[in-house]
Chain A
Amino acid sequence: MKHALSLTALSVLVLSSTARADQPVYHAADAPEATPVVYIGNIKPSMDQGTWLHGIFNQLEGRYAPGGTDFRWDGEAWFGGDYNKIWLKSEGTLEKGRLSDGDHELLYTRAISPYWNLQGGVRMDLDDGPTRTWGAFGIEGLALYEFEFGATAYVSDRGRFAARIEGSYDFLLTNRLILQPQAEFNLYTKSDAGRQAGAGLSDVDAGLRLRYELWRKFAPYVAVTYSGYLTQARRIARDQHDDTGSVRFSLGVRSWF
């Protein structure tokens, strides 16, 4: 009796949910089956589960200044398939023989939508300043109007928080001559004078790069770049008699494999 009742209740539920949705019952002829098809010799007729390895230097450039040219790189590499990838990011600036802004991340990346990936892993601030270690979690992908965009939140081994927002856009002047504005902002919850980080919006690194794609994978460029400290970090840099920000003429190569 109880059984019959619950069955009735169930069928009413099913019916009412069908009625509520007012939708046909969908069934895909190619729906996955519990037991996979056995192929002769286990040969899969389509190889759609491949893995790929790619890497790119978005920036590999000399930033000219009368007092000495800085060298900067910003690159990433990844390995994996359509859904899961291992992602490596690295950036840094070499100025007067001293490495700064050395930021290296090892992330697991998961595709979650047509254009967006979730990323999680570790970040190491590794350069000539004090070393910091962070846990990282963020998103990365292609925003509306084809903006490349990334936002990552960090929590350090010392219980501090930080965030990075970066974006770029490719304006095609011709099919090979491409103008790319790009910017990266770093934010911190607490200042870290050893790394010239200030609480709040701490630093910006931006560039306007004009590249010519000789080949798709090799594009020399000229650029105007700006690197500088903001708000509290600006004061820290000034106190340390360091450069608080400068616009530089830069030359570089964007390349990938």
Chain B
Amino acid sequence: MTFPSRSRGGLTRRRFVTGLGAGSLLASLPRTSHAFSSKASSGIIPPMPSDRWDLKIGHTRISLDGKTMHAPTAGGTVPGPILRWKQGDTVSINVTNTLNEPTSIHWHGIRTPSNMDGVPGMSFGGIAPGETFTYRFKLHQSGTYWYHSHSGMQEAMGLYGALVIDPRRPDPNACDRDYVIFLGEWTDVMPDDIVSNLKMQDDYYVFRQRTAASFPKEAREAGSAGAALADRLAWSKMRMAATDIADVSGAIYTYTLNGHAPDMNWSGLFRPGEKVRLRFINGSTMTFFDVRIPGLEMLVVQADGNDIEPVPVDEFRIGVAETYDVIVQPKDERAYAIFAQSEDRTGYARGTLAPREGMIAPLPPMDPRPVRTMVDMGMGNMKPGESMKDMDMSGDMSGMKMDGDMAGMDMHGMDMKGMDMSHMAMPKMEVDDPGPPPINVENQMRAMMPIDRTGSPGDGLENNGRRVLNYKQLRATRPGADLRPPTREIILHLTGNMERYIWGMNGRKFSESGPIRLKLGERVRFTLINDTMMEHPIHLHGLWSELENGQGDYRPYKHTIISQPGSKLSYLVTADTPGMWAYHCHLMYHMDLGMFRTVIVA
């Protein structure tokens, strides 16, 4: 089991910055007397932070929604215990492995020395069966994060949990109530079987394809049967499916909220008028969630652990491994549903905010499942009037154009001195441009006109009548720590072949690629061009990814950035921590099948 050690006098270190007290937290504790409580999470944050934790990794037999799995767990529950830390502390976590295979814990989004990052092969050799490994690192940051195994497929089976780090300074977002909302999936299908099935048939879990039966509806929506047929033919000519939203669906997944299946109805209590902070974490393997609480406005105050200028929204999409903290203030003495539908609309995770135990709020109907369009295929935004406006003009500043100029100069001068760009107004920048990705066994398409989609909430959420969060709205509350312009740009194409179920970057999977080498202290711009028709949540370990979303020096610091299909985006990285770092798509089956790189900072 897990417990915070009291060896350092937790009480004196406690710091409740508002009227929120252990009392109100404890008051909601009896709720966990629920039959399933021993195997699911209450979402309640431990009453005080601690700098010492013991975490036992073992197998636990868990049944949820009729699906039983002998799952690797932290502390016997899925999700594992919520660890509460405090910024500035040096925390130590003793992780004991009682499994009969190696394990590891990666602290997702936490800036640790490389040897504490928990990636076997890169940080350390993993934790052998029977062994205890002590992680120890100083916390420079605060906010909501999570931890998970980085060994094999343990994460996909339930080895994960939430991290809450109290800020050193008074928390501007402190609330009367504070809950972790951990979104995940549960299945009794073994991850290796899922991968094997996808290798044989990439749409194995998709039962929402266009069919003869759905044709009349499509014809109505398209305006004519001819238009609907033309669209279908265009997709089948490309040997792709417009209905390809998620590789693994509600056909096998039960979507969970704090480890509760929808019918278990996880509940968080509030008194009308109280401010409630909900720390959303998407700890799922393959699922993007679209989250809303009908009847309540959500004030988004934190993204990936970092405070942002509050954004009021009705809904937000949370990619795998992202976190968002929102504040709600329910005024009425009634129950409110926390409704998190999967992007492919094959299911939802559900919970309730209620003034009393046992209340149920009506659930909204599911939205129609999104359909991919030519925008997702990298054909640009074909909607009239929007095509140029949405084009990524930063492309003009990028290395592709500069290189083009250089080539032009060679032609005119035939003079090596022409290569010297010192006379140019632009700062000298090295550009690693791999060029358009090859069409090969591992890559089936090329985004011809990738556009900036940071202003879009994502497929299926545009123009749905609700205020939906988008990346352009994320504005940090303080300017970045490193305001140097980048001296180098690294362009990476996210590529894949759905048909063969191979994923990679620049048309190559991990095993066919070298490491990305960064100089210690270097300031680098990463530019991602998504040549696939799926979203990829790209996670860089150990270093912040500062999203270039038009907020100038108030760029949001993120650890995981969604690259939308057919899009181009960039973020800045300061390579200030030496070592070997993992860099990958956080859809686990994409990562494991090649969309993974090693970043070496030296």
Contact = CB atoms under 8 A, between A and B. Distances in A.
Interface string B124-162: 111000000000000000000000001010000000000
16 contacts: A19-B411, A28-B432, A30-B434, A30-B508, A31-B514, A37-B515, A40-B122, A41-B126, A42-B121, A44-B510, A45-B121, A52-B196, A52-B200, A114-B440, A114-B441, A174-B212
Contacts of A174: 211-213
A22 B123 CA distance: 43
Nearest to B404: A24
B207 A114 contact: no
A216 B213 CA distance: 19
B224 interface: no
Interface string A197-233: 0000000000000000000100000000000000000
Contacts of A41: 120-121, 125-126
A46 B503 CA distance: 11
Interface stretch (B16-24, B56-64, B589-597): B589-597
Interface stretch (B258-266, B376-384, B494-502): B494-502
A125 B196 CA distance: 32
Dominant SS among interface residues on chain A: loop
A138 B351 CA distance: 56
Interface in A85-134: 111-115
A222 B213 CA distance: 20
B200 A256 contact: yes
A240 interface: no
Contact of B594 (A21, A46, A176): A46
A171 B432 CA distance: 45
Size band of the B side of the interface?
35 or more
A3 interface: no
Contacts of B513: 30-32
Contacts of B503: 48
Contact of B210 (A26, A45, A172): A172
A1 interface: no
Contacts of B199: 52, 54
Q: Which of A31, A50, A82 has the most CB of B within 10 A?
A: A82
A82 B442 contact: yes
A239 interface: no
B434 A28 contact: yes
Q: Which of A28, A40, A50, A173 has the most CB of B within 10 A?
A: A28
Contacts of B435: 23-24, 26, 28
Contacts of B404: 22, 24
Given A26-B435, A28-B432, A40-B125, A175 B592 contact: no
Contacts of B403: 24-25
Contact of A173 (B122, B211, B440, B492): B211
B483 interface: no
Nearest to B434: A28
Nearest to B210: A172
B117 to A, nearest CB: 11
Nearest to A49: B511
B439 A171 contact: no
A15 interface: yes
Given A44-B511, A46-B594, A216-B204, A30 B492 contact: yes
B586 interface: no
| 6 A-B pairs with the lowest CB-CB distances in the bound complex, closest first | A24-B403, A43-B121, A28-B434, A26-B435, A29-B432, A39-B121
Interface string A152-180: 00000000000000000001111110000
A241 interface: no
Contact of A30 (B197, B408, B597): B597
A27 interface: yes
B119 interface: yes
Contacts of B511: 44, 46, 48-49
B514 A37 contact: yes
Given A26-B433, A46-B596, A175 B208 contact: yes
A59 B440 CA distance: 31
Nearest to A32: B514
B239 A144 contact: yes
Contact of B207 (A15, A30, A175): A175
Given A19-B407, A30-B513, A31-B513, A171 B212 contact: yes
A142 B499 contact: yes
Given A24-B435, A44-B121, 15 more contacts: A29-B434, A29-B490, A39-B121, A41-B120, A45-B150, A46-B593, A48-B592, A48-B593, A82-B502, A112-B441, A113-B441, A114-B444, A114-B497, A115-B444, A175-B209
Nearest to B195: A50
Contacts of A40: 120-125
B274 interface: no
Contacts of A216: 197, 201, 204
B596 A172 contact: no
Contact of A54 (B119, B200, B441, B504): B200
Interface in B499-534: 499-500, 502-506, 508-517
Contact of B407 (A23, A44, A145, A171): A23
Nearest to A48: B594
B450 to A, nearest CB: 17
A145 B237 contact: yes
Contacts of A114: 239, 439-441, 443-444, 497, 499-500
A213 to B, nearest CB: 9
Nearest to B206: A175
B29 interface: no
A10 to B, nearest CB: 13
A12 to B, nearest CB: 8
Nearest to A19: B411
Contacts of A27: 432-434
B410 interface: yes
Interface in B189-247: 195-197, 199-201, 204, 207-213, 233, 236-237, 239
A49 B197 CA distance: 16
Contacts of B208: 175
B116 interface: no
B410 A30 contact: no
Contacts of B399: 24
Contacts of A256: 200
A46 B594 CA distance: 6
Contacts of B121: 39-45
A6 B517 CA distance: 35
